[in-house]
Structure 1
């Protein structure tokens, strides 16, 4: 049975985290990763207006070939990054153990990765690989997406449960809305963008864990 792990990683512990310097961006979300030989081309969102200093920092990194704007909106910009990932031990550990990145978001608190492995032994091997590469991981949660009855919280981490519960209680999902993400952020003591990302990940985790069956998950 497959297993999904949510882990937090310091940006200093993997190369892409060093490239996408969070000192110059409020939040970053990986949209997709496209492996091609030793090159991995991700699309990633940068939230809030993008400063030139951020792009200059990315372009100066030795393994970066190019960074290109794809879409620009008022509150976020989508970029395409072409870089040599052969020295990024985090991604090598994921690929070597046939892991699939379901989502990754970087904020001032660190990078949160959601990774699917075919079985728990593969997750254990990934963990060992990261330890050998001196990558420090913080396990947030581990769950089986096709087993809704495993555990009382449907795979939700404590911060996800807190944010989702508060959003429902304050009427965020009501029509009309009873509150804004800014008000939720004030209650939780985190940024507006962090609230948005936490709610998005919480809903995705809940649906995968509570609603998907082996048939629908295939």
Structure 2
């Protein structure tokens, strides 16, 4: 099963980070990376009023072959970058590990990549690769994607989501508890027992479609 990881890199640790180096307070966003033969074309957003200096610095970088404007809006500009990706060890590791870039954001201090790996083993292999290549990186968060048919609420029904959100906002899960199931029931227009059942079933559904998804998938595969 695939796994998603948020990973931080220092700008100096990979070629693209050095190319797109910005000053403090400036943010660069990579919208996507499109494979083109042996090359990869990143599409990059830069926000005003930093466009002119950023554009000049990128175009003058020795690894850059072209840096062209694709879209211009009032507050930001989209560029397509062509560069010698073969020199970039981070991008090489991502490609060889079969990972997919979901999002990347850079500042003057660090780059945050959101990467989808085909498995936990693939992520571990990527970490080993970065260590052996002396690439400065830190895994910030690891999580499993939800099932494709669960919808935007991790499989929760509308009543379950409503009950869980109200319980959370009102401190039902706090220690000490700030509201009772009877009070929640009065707010929702249902009985005390109905609130308890709805919270229990909603919590079970939420766990099954988030933190337990990999274990449940493995159990299902072993039964086949």
Answer yes or no: same fold by TM over 0.5.
yes
The separation in 1 between residues aligned to 2:114 and 2:24, in whole angstroms, is 24
1:27 and 2:27 equivalent? Answer: yes
The separation in 1 between residues aligned to 2:89 and 2:108, in whole angstroms, is 22
The separation in 1 between residues aligned to 2:82 and 2:24, in whole angstroms, is 19
The separation in 2 between residues aligned to 1:63 and 1:123, in whole angstroms, is 28
2:37: which partner in 1?
37
1:4: which partner in 2?
4
Give the Å deviation of 1:24.
7.9
Q: Classify 1:74/1:25 alpha carbon distance in 2 versus 1 (closer, same or farther; 3 Å).
A: farther
The separation in 2 between residues aligned to 1:68 and 1:24, in whole angstroms, is 24
2:66: which partner in 1?
66
Q: Say which is worse superposed, 86-95 or 21-30, in terms of deviation.
A: 21-30
Give the Å deviation of 1:37.
3.1
- Contact 1:25–1:47 (Cα < 8 Å) also in 2: no
The separation in 2 between residues aligned to 1:49 and 1:82, in whole angstroms, is 23
Please, what is the CA RMSD of the aligned residues?
Answer: 2.4
2:80: which partner in 1?
80
Give the Å deviation of 1:135.
0.7
- Contact 1:47–1:77 (Cα < 8 Å) also in 2: yes
Q: Say which is worse superposed, 96-105 or 48-57, in terms of deviation.
A: 48-57
Q: Alpha-carbon deviations, 1:75-119, whole Å to 9, x = none?
A: 111011111100100010011110000000112341110000110
The separation in 2 between residues aligned to 1:143 and 1:25, in whole angstroms, is 29
The separation in 1 between residues aligned to 2:87 and 2:12, in whole angstroms, is 14
- Contact 1:30–1:104 (Cα < 8 Å) also in 2: yes
1:50: which partner in 2?
50
2:91: which partner in 1?
91
Q: Count residues with an aligned counterpart.
A: 154
The separation in 2 between residues aligned to 1:48 and 1:121, in whole angstroms, is 41
2:110: which partner in 1?
110
- Contact 1:22–1:108 (Cα < 8 Å) also in 2: yes
- Contact 1:2–1:145 (Cα < 8 Å) also in 2: yes
The separation in 2 between residues aligned to 1:146 and 1:108, in whole angstroms, is 33
The separation in 2 between residues aligned to 1:94 and 1:3, in whole angstroms, is 14
Identify unmatched segments of 5+ residues in structure 1: 148-153, 155-168, 170-208
Give the TM-score taking structure 1 as reference length: 0.65
Structure number, greater radius of gyration: 2
